[in-house]
Amino acid sequence: MGKFLNAALGIVIALFIGALIMLAQGYDPLASYAALFQFSLGSPYALATTLKNAVPLVLTGLSAAIAFASGPVNLGQPGQLIMGALAATVGGLYLDLPPWLMIPVLALLAMAGGALWSGLAALLRQAFQMSEFIVTLMLNIIADYFALWVITGPLKDATAYSPMTPPIARSGWLPEFGDWNSAIFWMLAAVALMWFLYNRTRAGYEWRMGGQNSLFARLGGCPVNRNFVLVMLLTGALAGLAGGLLIMGGPHRFLRGLGANYAWDGVMIAIVANNSIIGTLFYGLFFSAIQTGALGMELITDVPSEIALVLQGVLVLVIVASREALHKVADRLAVRRRAADAAKNERAVAQEIERG
């Protein structure tokens, strides 16, 4: 109950602050929000676009949420997404298999690309005790430049004006059913699988224990180091899959700046979802609705679509604050109740003594 209250409260306050910002700059907030949700949820086509745009957000969000909940501070989703996208692109350029084989192979390549990059951070942690927190951040920037080199150098499309690779083989394109891109099914399947893995299997239980109390997990006999590496590889693979689906479902080639749009979204979504898997799906969809609708809003009411970034930032701050504030209020109520109980007990004891 508290979770829903917190989410509803956070979203309302964030939208309200956004409205104040728009008002201060002379825009009509109500018309803007109406346009925003009209263009993200108002029609089957809009909804399909929102769902498709949610795929990288939800997958990188899952990656961050599972990592944070299990202990490893994997902030490397942007880099892992890029390496996954790059791996899928290379596969799509040099392989040509029938579609039923090609698509799973490219998805696996993407996951391997992401896992390679997070695995590098895990290796540095295991071998040299280098904190994965700063290592993953540095690897993000290194992956970014590496991808830029690949698409301006070895894999550049000679016919294009700006750096990009040629399109991948047709058999690697994700099928579309009307407006609905099948990347959406990959996303839903990943969420379901991760929910099951995390809540219904022993491995998931061990990871959760490791995240909540690593000493308890160690004393209980969990292989803490192995779990660390496994979680890093899994979360890297999820972010890599996000990159692969982005290539296979969207522009079908690696364009310059591909990863930049999703840089911090995964971490942000995991934070507001408090690392819950269902919450990640919900906020991923919500963030996608804001981002998708913002472009339509710009057409109708001239509000720059970058307001979506401000709304997201405000939402993160508000939800984090309201979560703590609710905790504090709940704590204070609990303390007061306990104090009242204690006072009642004390009175009862005193009466007993008086009576002898």
Partner 1 sequence: MNVVTGLINGAISGATPILLAALGGAYTFYAGVFNIAMEGMLLMAAFCAVWGSFTFGSWVAGVLLAIAGSLVLALIFIFFAVFLDTDEFVTGIALNIFTLGATTYLLRQSFGVKGVYAGPGIDPIPSLNFPLVAQIPVVGPILSGQNLMVYVAVLATIASAFLVFRTRFGLRLRAAGYNAASLDSSGVPSNRLRAYSLLLCGVLCGLGGAFLSLGYVNLFSENMSAGRGWISLAAIILVSGNPWGVAIISLLFGFADVLGLLLQSYQVPSQFTAMTPYIATLIALYFYARRQRKERDYADA
Nearer residue to partner 1 within complex by CB, 26 or 356: 26
Distance, in Å, from the CA atom of 83 to the CA atom of 115, rounded to the nearest integer, reads: 9
Rounded to 10 degrees, the C-alpha dihedral 196/201/203/204 comes to: 50
User: Between residues 329 and 348, which has the closer beta carbon with respect to partner 1?
Assistant: 329
Going by the DSSP 8-state scheme, the letter that residue 169 receives in this structure is P
HSE-CB of 43 using CA atoms within 13 angstroms: 10
Minimum distance of partner 1 from residue 305's CB (angstroms): 9
Report the nearest approach of partner 1 to the CB of residue 76 (Å).
12
Q: In the complex, what is the shortest distance from the CB of residue 253 to partner 1, in angstroms, rounded to a whole number?
A: 18
Distance CA 66, CA 274 (A): 10
54 versus 316: smaller Cβ distance to partner 1: 316
Alpha-carbon span 178 to 174, nearest angstrom: 12
Cβ nearer to partner 1, comparing 9 with 263: 263
Q: How far is the CB of 264 from partner 1 (least distance, A)?
A: 5
Backbone angles phi, psi at 195, to 5 degrees: -60, -45
At 43 the three-state DSSP class reads: coil
User: In angstroms, what is the minimal distance from the CB of 158 to partner 1?
Assistant: 17
For residue 67, the minimal CB distance to partner 1 (Å) is 13
Contact residues for partner 1, defined by CB under 8 A: 25, 124, 128-131, 134-135, 137-138, 141-142, 145-146, 148-149, 152-153, 260, 263-264, 267-268, 271, 304, 306-314, 316-317, 320-321, 323-325, 328
* 209 or 307: CB nearest partner 1: 307
Nearer to partner 1, 54 or 64 (CB): 64
Say which amino acid occupies 121.
Answer: A
Spell out the residues 6+ positions from residue 135 whose beta carbon is closer than 8 angstroms to its own: 76, 121, 124, 125
Contact 237/115 with Cβ under 8 angstroms? yes
How near is the Cβ of 252 to partner 1 at its closest, in Å?
A: 23
Give the Cα-Cα-Cα angle 84, 85, 90 (nearest 5 degrees). 100
Which residue lies nearer to partner 1 by CB, 206 or 298?
298
Q: Which amino acid type is present at position 10? A: G
Is the CB of 43 or the CB of 212 nearer to partner 1? 212
Closest C-alpha to 55, from 218, 221, 271, 249? 249
Q: Minimal CA–CA distance to 262: which of 275, 277, 245?
A: 245
Burial of 77 (0-12, 13-18, 19+ CB in 10 A): buried
Residue among 32 and 181 whose Cβ is closer to partner 1: 32
Provide the token pair at 51.
């769902």
Nearest approach, Cβ of residue 235 and partner 1 (Å): 16
Q: How far is the CB of 355 from partner 1 (least distance, A)?
A: 42
Contact predicate 113/254, CB 8 Å: no
Ramachandran angles phi, psi of 180, nearest 5°: -95, 115
